[in-house]
Structure 1
Amino acid sequence: MLSALTNSLTPILLMICLGFFLGKKTDYLENPSLAALVSNLGLPALLLYSVLSMQMQVFSMLKIIAATALVLVLVSLMSFVFLKALKLPTRFYLPPLVNPNTGNLGIPVAYALFGAEGMAIAVVISSVVQISHFTLGVGFMSGTYQPKQLLKNGPVIALVIGALFLSFNISLPTPLMNTLNMLSHITLPIMLMLLGRSISGLSIKESSKIGRASLLSLFRPVVGVLCACLVVYFFPLSRLEGSVLIVLSAMPVAVISYMLASKFKGPVDEIALMILISLPMSLCIVSLLWWLYL
């Protein structure tokens, strides 16, 4: 089992390290259009292909969406209480604790551990978290929120289209499915390298806050797993669906939280530390889960 886990996670870590190296030594990944390509084309293609090729039932998709939303609500409540106890402002600290990195880390991890079927579940979960990023995340950190932002979100649009296709039992022609498959194959490597590049560009000027950042970094995956386990226990999910939800709930702080904190003048140094510290913590927790439960 240890060998299987190592074989699954090692390529992910190597791709992140490659992205980190390229981010430090080259400008290969600097073009902002590359991230837009993944979020607006690659990830929606991956979602559509995964859902349609597995022919996921609409009821199953709705179950996964509802369960993910419930986990996010529970994590929000527990994080709110936790931050109040620490006397930290919820405006900038709540979104990083609630919204994990289910996109450019969670989906590859799900694929590595559970295969194509697990990845189909993961992209649905990630789409729900994407909505949370652009509602809870942007709304809290900016103090305002515009619903029209969701209309420009590729994965959300793909999720709606996929649900409609499943509802009316519509199948795409084979050439279109093959095209989506090709796009999905380029998505995961680019997502992982972009994560590595983002980590290489984090700016940390204050190391005095490392203690508090470490506490918050540990809280994020632990509270995510606890809330996910609670939802899985009471929710009618299959074992695979529940396992993927638990693993993705253990993911680290998302890089987008750093980007939002930079944009809205938040504690960027501390959130950067949280991203760096929570990444190995999350992978260790996932490995422990895989060893003991999954």
Structure 2
Amino acid sequence: MDLILTVLGIVAPVAALALTGFVWVRLGFEYRLEFVTRLSMTLAVPCLIFTALMKTRLDPQALATVSLAALAGYAGLTAAFWGITRVMRLETRTYLAPLIFGNTGNLGLPLALFAFGEAGLGYAVVIFAVMVILSFTFGIWLVAGGGSVLRALREPATAGTLLGALFLWQGWQTPLWLTRSLDMVGQLAIPLMLITLGVAMARLTPGRLGRGVWLAGLRVAICIGVAIAVGWAFGLEPVAFAVMIVQLSTPVAVTSYMLAEKYGADADAVAGLVIVSTLISIVSLPLTLAFLI
């Protein structure tokens, strides 16, 4: 019973904020998704990443190991899902990027924070940063053939990551007044991302849910398997190991739908995958956390 209450205490705030966004839209209230997304990804998330890295007390060597492990994890997911799309004759441009990149920002960061504290958030931020760089280069290339390293470097989240890593490496700290200001802005990120997730889910039109069900279920098993293999291979310490599993097994990111819509892939199919994988995560993530805790 204690374990169930602990897991519910971790998942409930995440679900409550996402539900807030969902209900808000269903009640007919205005929510400027483009503005809030831009505010979050341009200002709040970079501040969160920068301050989390700057203030982390984790061993820099451990963070470097987690970064390499995250790269290996995404390489493993790419190989596995590329094989599945080829065998099942699925359109690579539509399905491969959504299967690889999970919702490590909206769901992964708050889950890591609530479950494993500041240490967990530090590791989660590193994995999220790796995902951001890969998704804005390799991910866009998969969807439209238009990804580039320069695009990734122009992303504020990437800049926050590189700057935070520099401060961590050098042991620098910003002045107290600036740190507090950045903290306040960064604290906007998690609630904004979760509410926006609920809003985006309320506005999506599901397509071909039948295919999405088995793909989403298969995806959870593969992601957990790859995360465990990577954790063992790199000898990650327990918290880093647990965060790696949580981050790689988060459901398909809503941004995958936005990219599919923007670059002319099958957006309805991706929408169905987002919805089904998110619904499955309501069960899979608490079970995963219960095992890890």
Name the TM-score class by shorter chain.
Answer: over 0.9
* Match in the other structure for 1:244: 243
The one-letter code matched in structure 1 to 2:81 is S
Residues 1:196 and 1:31: Cα distance change in structure 2 (over 3 Å)? closer
* Match in the other structure for 2:169: 167
Indicate if the aligned counterparts of 1:130 and 1:156 stay in contact, CA closer than 8 A: yes
Indicate if the aligned counterparts of 1:58 and 1:163 stay in contact, CA closer than 8 A: no
For residue 130 of structure 1, report the CA deviation from its aligned partner: 0.9
Indicate if the aligned counterparts of 1:45 and 1:180 stay in contact, CA closer than 8 A: yes
Indicate if the aligned counterparts of 1:56 and 1:166 stay in contact, CA closer than 8 A: no
Taking structure 1 as the reference length, what is the TM-score of the superposition? 0.94
* Match in the other structure for 1:51: 53
Indicate if the aligned counterparts of 1:57 and 1:166 stay in contact, CA closer than 8 A: no
The one-letter code matched in structure 1 to 2:25 is G
- Asked whether 1:266 is paired with 2:265, we answer yes
Q: Pick which of 251-260 and 117-126 moved more.
A: 117-126
The one-letter code matched in structure 2 to 1:6 is L
* Match in the other structure for 1:10: 12
Q: Which residues of structure 2 form unaligned runs of 5+?
A: none
* Match in the other structure for 1:111: 113
- Asked whether 1:289 is paired with 2:291, we answer no
The one-letter code matched in structure 2 to 1:250 is S
Matches within 5 A, 1:68-79: 68-79=70-81
Distance 1:280 1:169 in 2: 42
* Match in the other structure for 1:42: 44
Distance 1:86 1:170 in 2: 50
For residue 239 of structure 1, report the CA deviation from its aligned partner: 0.8
* Match in the other structure for 2:142: 140
Taking structure 2 as the reference length, what is the TM-score of the superposition? 0.94
Deviations 1:121-179 (A, max 9, x none): 11111111111211122101112323321122112111111111122221222212211
Give 1:61's match in structure 2, choosing from 57, 60, 63.
63
Distance 2:211 2:23 in 1: 28
Distance 2:66 2:157 in 1: 15
- Asked whether 1:124 is paired with 2:157, we answer no
Q: Pick which of 249-258 and 260-269 moved more.
A: 260-269
The one-letter code matched in structure 2 to 1:112 is F
Count of aligned pairs between the two proteins: 291
For residue 18 of structure 1, report the CA deviation from its aligned partner: 0.6
Deviations 1:218-264 (A, max 9, x none): 12222111100000011032110110010111100111111111112
For residue 215 of structure 1, report the CA deviation from its aligned partner: 1.2
For residue 30 of structure 1, report the CA deviation from its aligned partner: 1.2
For residue 61 of structure 1, report the CA deviation from its aligned partner: 2.1
Distance 1:23 1:127 in 2: 30
The one-letter code matched in structure 1 to 2:226 is C
Distance 2:79 2:6 in 1: 36
Indicate if the aligned counterparts of 1:23 and 1:30 stay in contact, CA closer than 8 A: no
Distance 1:14 1:101 in 2: 17
Residues 1:293 and 1:190: Cα distance change in structure 2 (over 3 Å)? closer
Give 2:182's match in structure 1, choosing from 156, 180, 183.
180
Deviations 1:64-98 (A, max 9, x none): 11111100000110101111111112122100000
The one-letter code matched in structure 1 to 2:283 is C
Deviations 1:40-73 (A, max 9, x none): 1111111122122223333222111111110000
Alignment RMSD, CA only? 1.5
Distance 1:133 1:276 in 2: 20
- Asked whether 1:212 is paired with 2:211, we answer yes
* Match in the other structure for 1:84: 86
The one-letter code matched in structure 2 to 1:21 is V
